[in-house]
């Protein structure tokens, strides 16, 4: 069975701290995407990871992809309140098939 | 015009009603998608169309009927829905199946 497991599902952290969100998957793939969703809003694209070893950074967020370990990470550096949102990984599995992770609801406390 | 638009943004319907959701993309993409986002489940892919042809149907009940008249427009026709169909329905588009998807704002559906 194809699975995309995201953890943690909920994360409460202090401003200024670092943390990592993990996205593990059960099938071979070389494409993975990270999205952000604010409450009541749609999904905003954050990162596109297209190959093994890909690393992308934008502001306080950095995403990486290890296709051999079937693992992607989203690292948060020195969190600020504006990063509070739900973060999803989306795995491309071929053709027109994709699978979302369950999402990580992040809350950054002042 | 923003990339992917959806109408209506909110919809309340009874179980015997018939309604349609509309999605339009202005990005020149070839593939369009319907997703369902409910409170207690991960985002679920429902249907995919590529160049107006349906390429994916993830065992969606027949009370949901998609239509894709051209690469820019996608509809989801609804009839005889159940309360458990209440959810946020998101439309997305991409250049191909392997490319980044761009999402619309969603339609919040409530079935009474």
Query: Is the Cβ pair B55, A95 closer than 8 Å?
Result: yes
Helix, strand, coil percentages in chain B from 3-state DSSP, rounded to 5:
5, 55, 40
Query: Is the Cβ pair A100, B98 closer than 8 Å?
Result: no
Instruction: Indicate whether B1 pLDDT > 70.
Output: no
3-state secondary structure of A96: coil
pLDDT score of B42: 84
pLDDT in tens, A23-43: 999 998 889 999 999 988 899
pLDDT score of B50: 93
B34 pLDDT tier (thresholds 50, 70, 90): very high
**Which residues from chain A sit within 8 angstroms of residue B33, using beta carbons?**
96
pLDDT in tens, A48-103: 999 888 999 999 999 999 999 999 999 999 999 999 999 999 999 998 899 999 99
Q: Which of B102, B82, B94 has the alpha carbon at shortest distance from B17?
A: B82
Is-contact B4 B91, C-beta < 8 A?
yes
DSSP secondary structure string for all residues of A38-55: -TTS-EEEEEEE-STT-E
- Average pLDDT for chain B: 94
pLDDT score of B39: 85
**C-alpha neighbours within 13 Å on the C-beta side of residue A6:** 25
- For chain B, percent of residues with pLDDT exceeding 70: 99
pLDDT in tens, B65-95: 999 999 999 999 999 999 999 999 999 999 9
Q: Residues 6 or more apart from B40 whose CB is under 8 A from it? A: none
Nearest CB partner across the interface for B100, out of A41, A45, A99: A45
Euclidean distance between CA atoms A18 and A99, whole angstroms? 27
């Amino acid at each position: 069975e194809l699975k995309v497991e995201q953890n943690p599902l909920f994360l409460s952290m202090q401003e200024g701290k670092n943390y990592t969100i993990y996205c593990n998957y059960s099938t071979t793939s070389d494409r993975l995407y990270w999205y952000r969703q604010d409450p009541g809003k749609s999904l905003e694209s954050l990162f596109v990871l297209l190959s093994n070893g890909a690393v992308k950074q934008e502001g306080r967020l950095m995403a990486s992809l290890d296709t051999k370990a079937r693992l992607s990470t989203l690292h948060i550096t020195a969190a600020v309140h504006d990063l509070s949102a739900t973060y999803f990984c989306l795995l491309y599995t071929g053709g027109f098939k994709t699978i979302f992770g369950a999402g990580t609801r992040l809350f950054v406390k002042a | 015009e923003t990339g992917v638009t959806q109408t209506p943004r909110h919809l309340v319907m009874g179980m015997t009603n018939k309604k349609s959701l509309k999605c339009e993309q202005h990005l020149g993409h070839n593939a369009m998608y319907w997703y369902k986002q409910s409170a207690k489940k991960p985002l679920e892919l429902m249907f995919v169309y590529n160049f107006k042809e349906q390429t994916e149907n993830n065992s969606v009940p027949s009370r949901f009927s998609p239509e894709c008249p051209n690469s820019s427009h996608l509809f989801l026709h609804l009839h005889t829905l159940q309360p458990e169909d209440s959810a946020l329905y998101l439309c997305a588009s991409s250049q191909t199946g392997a490319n980044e998807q761009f999402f619309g704002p969603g339609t919040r559906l409530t079935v009474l």
